Amino acid sequence: MPDPGIDAQTALHDPNLLLQAEGVTKTFPGVKALSGMRFDLRKGEVLALVGENGAGKSTLMKLLTGIYPLEEGRFWLEGEPLAVKNPKEAQERGLAIIHQEFNLMPDLTVAQNIFIGREPLTGGFFTRPRALEAQAKELIDRLGLPLDPSAKVATLTVAKQQMVEIAKALSYNARVLIMDEPTAALNDAEVEVLHDLIRRFVTPQTGVVYISHRMPELKRIADRVTVIRDGEYIDTMDMANATLDQVISRMVGRAIDTSARPENVRTDRPVLMRVENLSTKDVLRDVSFDLYEGEILGFAGLMGAGRTEVARAIVGADPRTSGTITLRGKVVNPRNAAEAARFGIGYLSEDRKRYGLMLGHAVSHNIAISSLADKFSRFGFVDDRAIAKAATQQRTNLRIKTPSVAQLVTNLSGGNQQKVVIARWLVKNSDVLIFDEPTRGIDVGAKDEIYHLLNRLASEGKSIIMISSELPEVLRLSHRIVVMSEGRLTGVLSAGEATQESIMALATHPDDDLPPASAADDADHATQEDLR
């Protein structure tokens, strides 16, 4: 790796650069989130930063704004070293960051929100509402925003709330504007307004870092695009010359281990569960698919595509606005997770600690909870011996590493906690298992074990929906792959035709202006076929 000291010298000598990163590395226990990451933002440009889920974009932003301490690597702002300790200091240095989640107080006015903590005061104590409003109005007019300074934030649309965030960020005289997925919640007209605002902000002295998954949008707003993959810098391209497929192939272009492929893929299985026209109020739009007996159906898509929402809507954890769920030809439409469990549908959440486990309780209790009423009790009295027996059986069956089933779940590793949740649904004898990110927070060795377990469950006749943000995982296990984007199902790929590129193309092209999925990269496709 180059000596950062030398880079510091070169940085000082390029007056065209606004913001630079070099050799930025961040390690979390067990994971390298960023490794030798770099990028440079020129004055007067919009730089798009793209990468898959978990590529390290957010970590980079958090390092830049001091939310995480910078341990390895360097940032420069106009040739000056930049190492801020907290977001406030970042703001004072001229970095404005707009997060996906807004940081506004809904019951305060626009003006109060923009100048929170910096209100004009009389005698250091009494507020001056009129001065505050005038100050806010001046800023809003200067930025050309359609905002009323005295309006309560809660009454504004999402797009206008975002404008408040932007006004607040720019009120610090920012030179660099960093936006994390700014258009995720906006409609097309609102996106245009936002892009106008960005174009007005960009002067020969300022620049914008624009993080987004939405490929078509980048063409319109970005000058250059930097691709991150697995925490590493991959490439930077001029947007004018780059095709979207090129960008995608850089995003996913890792070499994947093709030796492990889906097992027992067959096309002659009967349909077990049919989902038709599933919609929810906010996210899902007419999602329909079939789940076959004994198959692993992968669900791929970017963050926010609506995959978790599909699972929650199927089991009735979130209300459906439309949709029919048919199990073995019979309409079931579970109204809540209790009904879904009775029909034999089990949901294993991505967030095990929050939605899966009773951490302070015994392994056996966590395994038995779903089956207490129908398997482990008589006249309301719980049969602890039967619970211990069934739990011990599952401990052997799934090889849960715990000295005893009386152990508290909180003392188990992530992989073993996941097995406890799996055991719960096996004891319940569920036919449909919906795994949401089954290997999240699980270390590499244990991941393999979970993969084997999923294959085994499918071969034993369980039907599995596996939602995963890790493409290699999806490709390794799925018999078929459903791809989602922005609440819609954008394609179903067979194990044979699925590649990282074909999946990512479906996941990032919400509009229909894209090449057919299987044509994404024939060469690569062929190689994978040959390898099998």
Partner 1 sequence: MTLPATTPTTGVQVAKDPSARSTLLRRSLQQMLAFAGLIAIFIVFSIASPVVFPSYTNVIQILFSAVVIGLLALGSTLVIITGGIDLSVGTGMALCAVMAATFIVTWHLPVLLGVVLAILFGGLVGMVNGISVALLKLPPFIATLAMMMVASGLALVVSNKHPIYFDAGAYTDISTGTLIPGSNFPNAILVYAVAAVVAAVLLGRTLLGRYDLAIGSNLEATALSGVNVHKWTIIIYAVAGLFTGLAGVAISARLGSAQPATGQGYELYAIAAVVIGGTSLSGGKGSILGTVIGSLIIAVINNGLQIVSVPQEWQNVILGVVILLAVFADQFRKRT
User: Which residues are at the interface with partner 1 (CB under 8 A)?
Assistant: 315, 317, 336-338, 340-342, 346-347, 349, 354-361, 365, 368-370, 372-373, 377, 380-382, 401-404, 406-408, 411, 424, 428
The answer to whether 64 touches 21, Cβ cutoff 8 Å, is yes
CA distance 37 to 250: 15
Q: Which is nearer to partner 1, 400 or 504 (CB)?
A: 400
Q: Which is nearer to partner 1, 280 or 455 (CB)?
A: 280
Least distance (Å) between residue 325 CB and partner 1 = 16
- Give whichever of 116 and 338 is closer to partner 1, judged by the CB atom: 338
Contact 427, 367 (CB under 8 A): yes
- For partner 1, the closer of residues 25 and 349 by Cβ is 349
Residue (86 or 411) nearer to partner 1, CB: 411
Residues 6+ apart with CB under 8 A from 262: 296, 476, 477, 478, 479, 495
CB count, 10 Å around CB of 515? 12
Supply the DSSP symbol for 362: B
Separation CA 291–CA 293 (nearest Å): 7
Q: Which of 106, 105, 107, 84 is nearest to 96 (CA)?
A: 84
Minimum CB–partner distance for residue 10 and partner 1 (Å): 47
Determine the residue type at 31: V
For every residue of 251-293, DSSP letters joined together read: HH------SS--SS--S-PPEEEEEEEEE-SSS--SEEEEEET
State how far the alpha carbon of 385 is from the alpha carbons of 207, 348, 408, 446, 464, in Å.
Answer: 66, 26, 17, 30, 31
CB of 327 to partner 1, least distance (A): 15
Q: Which is nearer to partner 1, 239 or 341 (CB)?
A: 341
Residues of 366-385 as b/e, b for ≥16 C-beta within 10 angstroms? bbbbbbeeeebeeeeeeeee
**Closest separation between CB of residue 108 and partner 1, Å?**
24
Strand 296-301 and strand 463-467: pairing? Answer: parallel
The nearest distance, CB 378 to partner 1, in angstroms, is 10
Based on CB atoms, which residue is closest to partner 1, 10 or 413?
A: 413
Minimum separation from the CB atom of position 521 to partner 1 (A) = 39
Question: Least distance (Å) from partner 1 to the CB of residue 29?
Answer: 21
Q: Among residues 228 and 420, whose Cβ is nearest to partner 1?
A: 420
Single-letter residue type at 94: G
How far apart, in Å, do the first and last CA atoms of the chain sit?
A: 37
Cβ closest to partner 1, residue 91 vs residue 402: 402
Give the amino acid at 431.
D
Residue 46: both structure tokens together: 């919009």
Distances (CA, A) of 132 to 69, 127, 144, 165: 34, 8, 18, 17
Residue with smaller CB distance to partner 1, 39 or 299: 299
Provide the 8-state DSSP code for 47.
Answer: E
Question: In whole angstroms, how close is the CB of 449 to partner 1 at the nearest point?
Answer: 15
CB of 297 to partner 1, least distance (A): 20
CB of 435 to partner 1, least distance (A): 13
Q: Contact at 8 Å (CB) between 271 and 74?
A: no
